[in-house]
Structure 1
């Protein structure tokens, strides 16, 4: 491992770990695409003159403001639960809350103390119950699991759940359908649901494509877990990318990412802020978490054409506008 990136040898990982641990496949993403189609927006691939050979997958234009709607929709529709609980830094909670009303589902969203207050208010404005906890993301998720056990609510994690991962994978399906010549996909990586989903989507391709996960430099849970050979838990962090503060690699996601991701790179907060500014100058109002993949592409470089996932646009102004409109 280097400070900048972790290259993965798939032949070696397949030999050491086999494929028996995988619980998901390309078919799960295809099933999710059919299930969630009436509830999501097929987002475009945008270009910017200042970013040559880069295609920007505009998930900031998704209903609820981020890609999280895809996984939330797949889980809620497939599970059919009447009451759910989830832990969220904000965007997953917004997605679940936005769907819950029309589907008649009661929702409790557990948010860590350091989570965005603007996102917490927006989640509550959608009718969800919001519970704030101390500590970081790991403590938040433990509280949500305990809440599910105590109340009988169904737990829908923000990332580490088969249905959530399959739903997030539809981002990758759309990229590969709309831009079949894409050579590299840069994926922002926090809990890992989007990265794992794109890996599953790529499993259906007959041509090679590189998948690069991009983590904030101080929260490299997947790079460190791959180095250790098992999921590890990191201390809480305060990266500017507030949606990517997860502390532990997912049990469902770890084998998917271990066997398919080509490289993991880390980017500093300064690089993330720079990438956010470039997107804003191009008329794309990404939040910092949504600019992490671009920061990785700028730092890492690539051959040919790259797709960069702009994963969300739930900055303070967008949240305020959505709340007042609602």
Structure 2
């Protein structure tokens, strides 16, 4: 299970990543990987490039983790790769095929994939088959999922049944794909996301480091909003949150305010007090927020007002 407010379970078929933008500067996963390496966790023993990654945080695939969702019978929302980026350039295309085959084989779950590399997601998931028979976009990648369910295939995933290709629509109806965007400088990620086939497209504006007033939310279904937490956290202005909630609703996207961040909690609510003593170091307790920010909605579902 997980304490992440907008999901119910995490699944990490890969671990590790590389920082590529300011939103990565205080990456919680990088810090956690260093800790897990020190604890002897087998997944986190390979170091990444110190310029962009760190101890225990080299991009690594974990074939043994592929079958985990097959054992989860109860439907749940699953955040794919809380400790990595599924569309990192060093995740082999064949491994992506295996991941998508598992998701196709478990339609009871809803998978939430979050990437800072939506350009690669768009390229792969709109791939044109080179066989010359005129398959539509995505058909080549989708049909390769069937190969992962064939026992003599080098990409075979134990437990998958034949016929995945024929039993699923495209894009997979239980897969949501999102991109992280921290300020206007990375609006291009949203443009790439719009080109990516997905049942639900979403934005994670966390950590929100500036206004997103130059970002079009056309074609976006869900917007997660959050301030940065932890040592060295950068400030969030509630005006940015107000505007993003309004822009989301105007575009037909569901807003979900996750947290207001450590700086907001320290300087706005727990002024002169220890925020740790109140158990809200992330500014994540809606009962302390301005009323109009207490909103946590999901796409195509009834709004869940909190606080």
Same fold (TM over 0.5): no
TM-score by length of 1: 0.31
TM-score (norm 2): 0.32
